[in-house]
Amino acid sequence: MARPKIALIGAGQIGGTLAHLAAIKELGDIVLFDISEGTPEGKALDIAESGPSEGFDATLKGTQSYADIAGADVCIVTAGVPRKPGMSRDDLLGINLKVMKAVGEGIAANAPNAFVICITNPLDAMVWALREFSGLPHEKVCGMAGVLDSARFRHFLSLEFNVSMRDVSAFVLGGHGDTMVPLVRYSTVAGIPLPDLIDMGWTTQDKMDAIVQRTRDGGAEIVGLLKTGSAFYAPATSAIEMAEAYLKDQKRVLPCAAHVDGAYGLNGFYVGVPTVIGAGGIEKVVEIKMSKDEQAMFDKSVDAVKGLVKACKDIDGSLA
C-alpha cells in the first residue's frame, strides 16, 4: 500500500518543523509548498538528508506548484504573514484572507479529499475562510489551537504539581486568543479535578488563576522571548497529533477549531470545542455542560470570533 501523502502549505518555521516531525514519525511522504522560492526545496532536502541517521522511510519534496500536492491525504496550512509592528488587525486579516483564498482554491483543485488542518492566525476566522474558499466538507476542515492551548496548560500544571505531564489532562474551549476558556473543572491530575486539588491543599486558587492567565498569554510569552517570530515547535507537534489521529483513525478526543452546527447553541460556526478525530475527519463535536460563568466566558469568546468573521466578510464581499 502506498504511503499517505502529507502536504504542508507554508514552509516557514512551523511548516519545516511539521515536515521534520512527520518524517521522523513516518506518517507518510511529504510535500512542502511555499511561494518563497528555494525555502521548501531547501528544507525538504535538509530533512531528507537527516533520514539516514534517523532511519525513516519518507520522501520529501519542496515546490511552488499546487499540482505537486495532488491527491494529498492531509494538508496542514501555515501559509501567511505574522502581524508586524504598525499593522492593524484588519491589515493582517486582509493579507491572510487573500492567502486563504489562494490556498483554499489550490486544495480544492488538487486535494479535495484531504483532511485540512489550518494553523494560520487569526485562527478561528482563517479556518472558517479556508473552508469557505475551498468548499470542502465541514468535517474535513478544522483548525489547530485547542491541542496547543491545552498542552501549554498541561505543561504549566505539571510544573506546579511537580508531576509528569502525561498524568495531567487539561481542557480548553473557545477561540484561540485572549478570550480562550481554560476549563479548570474539567482539568485533572490523574483524574483528580483541579478544584479538588485546591481543596486537598496541593495548590491554591491564586496559583490556578495565574496558570490560567499564563495559558491565555502562552503565545505572547513565546513571542516576547523570541522577539523575531512566534512559537513553532509546540504548534507543529499539536497539528501532527491531529493529523496522526486522522491518518490512523485513532478516534482521539482533541480540542480543535471545528464547525459547530447545533451544539453549544451555534449554527454553523467555527470555534474551539472538544472533538473526536478519526478517519472521517471531525467525527463528532462533544458538547459539555457549562456553568453560568463558563458559559459567559465561552459566549465572550464566540463574540470575539464573530467580530473577526464579520471583518473578513467586510474585506471580501464574496464571503458575505
The binding site for ligand APR (CB under 6 A) comprises 9-15, 34-36, 39, 78-80, 82, 99, 102, 119-121, 229-230, 232, 235
CB of 177 to ligand APR, least distance (A): 11
Whose Cβ is closer to ligand APR: residue 77's or residue 184's? 77
Going by the DSSP 8-state scheme, the letter that residue 25 receives in this structure is T
Q: Distance (Å, rounded) from C-alpha 301 to C-alpha 173?
A: 9
Nearest to 2 by CA among 73, 52, 61: 73
Measured from each CB, the residue nearest to ligand APR is 12
CB 107 within 8 A of CB 100: no
Q: Which of 20, 155, 176, 259 is catalytic?
A: 176
* Residue 34, marked binder: yes
* Residue 162, marked binder: no
Going by the DSSP 8-state scheme, the letter that residue 176 receives in this structure is S
138 catalytic, yes or no? no
Whose Cβ is closer to ligand APR: residue 35's or residue 296's? 35
CB of 133 to ligand APR, least distance (A): 12
* Residue 205, marked binder: no
Query: 3-class DSSP state for residue 252?
Result: strand
Whose Cβ is closer to ligand APR: residue 75's or residue 211's? 75
CB 146 within 8 A of CB 174: no
C-alpha cell, 258? 471545528
CB of 16 to ligand APR, least distance (A): 8
* Residue 213, marked binder: no
Whose Cβ is closer to ligand APR: residue 43's or residue 140's? 43
CB of 155 to ligand APR, least distance (A): 18
Task: For 29-74, give the secondary structure using H, E and C.
Answer: EEEEECCCCCHHHHHHHHHHCCHHHHCCCCCEEEECCHHHHCCCCE
Annotated binding site for NAD(+): 10-15, 34, 96, 119-121
Question: Known catalytic residues?
Answer: 176
Annotated binding site for substrate: 83, 89, 121, 152
